[in-house]
Amino acid sequence: MREYDVAVIGAGVTGSAIARQLSRWKMKVALIDGAEDVAMGASRANSAIVHAGYDCPPGSLEAELNVKGNALYTRWCAELDVPLQRTGTLVAAFDEEEAENVRALYERGLKNGVPEMKILSGEEARALEPMLAENCVCALLAGTGGITCPYEMTIACAENARKNGVDWLLGRKVSAIRGTEAGFVVTAGYEDIIARRVVNAAGLFSDDVARMIGDDSFTVRPRKGEYLLMDRSAKAPKYVIFQTPSRLGKGILVSPTVDGNSFVGPTAVDQTDKTDTSVSQEGIDQLRRMAKKSAPEMDFRNVITSFAGLRAQPSTGDFIIRPSEADGRMIHAAGICSPGLTSAPAVAELVEKLLMESGLTLTEDPAYDPHRSHIRRFRDMTREQKEAAIAENPLYARVICRCETITEAEIVEAVSRGARTLDGVKRRTRAGMGRCQGGFCSPRVMEIISRETGIPMEKLTKFGAGSYLVAEKTRSGEV
């Protein structure tokens, strides 16, 4: 049996950030996930906003970690080469009741220690953001709010952790955890491993993981959020525009993405099924209707895809980050709902502290390197850089995804970094994320993955498990 000092269950942004934080110490860490890639849960489909922190209830762990996490993002993104744009976020009010809410948010932000906030008049807000509806009466501007790329953040943390010695155990769902003298025996897929400490970062399923050691102190419920994503050619806002919670519900937001697209969302629908990420017609209709309120110019002819994510709503009403009462050697980082993406670096620091307090002695690893870089994007290179890149690697001259101008070199690099599925390549390179949504490049990307990994075409999947892409060889065989 392989032995680890710490097994982190869940390779979402929470688990990956924790793994990265722990990788600076001399110890053996495993990052385990049931999915065949990192970032397959909530960390894949969310609003991608680095929240300023005025929204969380004062005094909550959420509020504290949000504000801390927000500040840490600058360094983390710089070290990990993850896009971060501090665009500023706007909460817009369209009547007096909503204006009251905006002022309340401002007050709450002050209590939470949020810097750089300002209440703008409707005119001032529209001067900043021309897409904002004309009847905006006032808006809260939070200068530290911004946008990032959530799966890129997760992948970056996980890659950096691996570079510093963390093992990825993917496609290994944890089905049992047994406490022993030395720690735990964790059944991860086909393999039992021994871990002195377990970190429970299993998102929506973190209550199930807690229950594996007899801890039923909390439950986690799914709340769906649906989105419509617009093509890059559509007019995009410059700021993240929130609506205030009002009688009509929580409101949806309109936002740019770091890749130049824009989206509207999310809806908020409570459900019982923890795996159902389907998009509903009601959801789509609601988004179209409500987006018009804050940005009437949003053009829905440019929708290129719709998707949904599941928030992990904890029964306690706050992040659950503490040792388990059933066995203090399991540390929960559970029920990480929004703003969990923003909070991740701060959650990682807190979990590190809790592990130390649990009796792990940590010595610094002098070889630790906090840096990781993104796969070099051909599209973003200058002409000279393009020339040099092609001279060095002719695969840079082969454009595979024409919508996003992604080259074969980038795809090969994604596979070498661990992508095994079509979606894995897509998230690491953007191949298939453009206006044709992979209609053109999917067969070509499949060919490259198959060639590079030796996985036959019939065994390739979209995102693991049963998501196979083709049924069988044709009768006529290769044409």
Partner 1 sequence: MEYRYDIVIIGGGPAGLAAALSARETAPEAKILMLERDKKLGGILQQCIHNGFGLHYFGQELTGPEYAQRFIDQLEAAKIEVWTDTMVLDFSSEKVVDCVCAARGYVQVQAGAIVLAMGCRERTRGALSIPGTRPAGIYTAGCAQRLNNIEGYLPGKKVVILGSGDIGLIMARRMTWEGAQVKLVAEIMPYSSGLNRNIVQCLVDNDIPLKFNHTVTAVHGQERVTGVTVSEVDPATRRPIAGTEEFYECDTLLLSVGLIPENELTRGAGVEMDRITNGAVVDQFRQTSMEGVFACGNVLHVHDLVDNVSNESAIAGAAAARYAMGQKAAGQVYAVKAENGVRYALPQRIVAGDAGKLDVYFRVDAAYRNPSVQVLCGDKVLYSRKKQIMTPGEMEKMTLDQGLITGDITVRLDK
Ligand X SMILES: Cc1cc2nc3c(=O)[nH]c(=O)nc-3n(C[C@H](O)[C@H](O)[C@H](O)COP(=O)(O)OP(=O)(O)OC[C@H]3O[C@@H](n4cnc5c(N)ncnc54)[C@H](O)[C@@H]3O)c2cc1C
The site that binds ligand X (CB under 6 A) totals a number of residues, namely 40
Q: What are phi and psi of 249, to 5 degrees?
A: 125, -170
Query: For partner 1, which stretch binds (CB under 8 A), given 55-63, 160-168, 189-197, 387-395?
Result: 387-395
Smallest gap from Cβ 365 to ligand X, in A, equals 24
CA pseudo-torsion sign 171, 175, 177, 178:
negative
When CB distances are held under 5 to 8 angstroms depending on the partner's kind, the choice from ligand X, partner 1, none that residue 266 binds is ligand X
When CB distances are held under 5 to 8 angstroms depending on the partner's kind, the choice from partner 1, ligand X, none that residue 303 binds is partner 1
**Residues 218-247, interacting with partner 1 (CB under 8 A):** 228-229, 233
Pick the catalytic residue: 51, 332, 371, 374? Answer: 51
Residues 177-200: b if buried by 16+ CB within 10 A, e if exposed: bebeeebbebbbbeeebbbbbbbb
**Residues 155-174, interacting with partner 1 (CB under 8 A):** none
**Choice from 29, 341, 350, 445 touching ligand X (CB under 6 A):** 341
> Binding of ligand X at residue 33 (CB under 6 A)?
yes
> Binding of ligand X at residue 337 (CB under 6 A)?
yes
Q: Which residues contact 90 (CB under 8 A, 6 or more apart)?
A: 120, 125, 128, 129, 132, 139, 140, 141, 142, 239, 240, 241, 242
When CB distances are held under 5 to 8 angstroms depending on the partner's kind, the choice from partner 1, ligand X, none that residue 205 binds is ligand X
Cβ-contact 327, 196 below 8 angstroms:
no
| C-alpha–C-alpha distance, residues 241 and 254, integer Å | 5
**Residues 115-144, interacting with ligand X (CB under 6 A):** none
The C-alpha R_g of the chain, in whole angstroms, comes to 23
Compute how many other C-beta atoms are within 10 angstroms of the C-beta atom of residue 21: 23
Contact map string, positions 41 to 80, toward ligand X, x by CB under 6 A: xxx--xxxx-x-----------------------------
- Nearest alpha carbon to residue 89 among 137, 141, 132, 48: 141
Cβ-contact 466, 171 below 8 angstroms:
no
| Nearer CB in complex with ligand X: 183/339 | 339
When CB distances are held under 5 to 8 angstroms depending on the partner's kind, the choice from ligand X, partner 1, none that residue 173 binds is ligand X
| C-alpha–C-alpha distance, residues 174 and 192, integer Å | 9
| C-alpha–C-alpha distance, residues 450 and 459, integer Å | 9
Crossing angle of helices 340-357/61-80, nearest 10°? 100
Q: Which helix (H) or strand (E) holds 92?
A: strand 89-93
| Nearer CB in complex with partner 1: 90/228 | 228
The letter for the amino acid at 220 is: V
Q: What are phi and psi of 177, to 5 degrees?
A: -135, 125
Query: For partner 1, which stretch binds (CB under 8 A), given 11-19, 154-162, 189-197, 279-287?
Result: 279-287
User: Largest Cα–Cα distance of the chain, in whole Å?
Assistant: 70
Cβ-contact 142, 89 below 8 angstroms:
yes
| Nearer CB in complex with ligand X: 169/422 | 169
> Strand, coil or helix: what is 4?
strand
**Choice from 85, 397, 453, 455 touching partner 1 (CB under 8 A):** 397
**Residues 421-450, interacting with partner 1 (CB under 8 A):** 422, 435-440, 442-443, 446-447
| Nearer CB in complex with ligand X: 93/337 | 337
Q: What are phi and psi of 97, to 5 degrees?
A: -60, -45
Contact map string, positions 217 to 256, toward ligand X, x by CB under 6 A: --------x-------------------------------
**Choice from 276, 299, 325, 357 touching partner 1 (CB under 8 A):** 276
Query: For ligand X, which stretch binds (CB under 6 A), given 33-41, 55-63, 114-122, 293-301?
Result: 33-41
Q: Is 51 labeled as catalytic in the residue annotation?
A: yes
**Annotated catalytic sites, by residue?**
51
Footprint of ligand X on this chain (CB under 6 A)? 9-15, 32-35, 40-43, 46-49, 51, 173-174, 201-205, 209, 225, 266, 309-311, 336-342
Interface residue list for partner 1 (CB under 8 A): 228-229, 233, 275-281, 283-284, 303-307, 383, 386-387, 390-391, 394, 396-399, 402-403, 405, 422, 435-440, 442-443, 446-447, 457-458, 461-463, 465-479
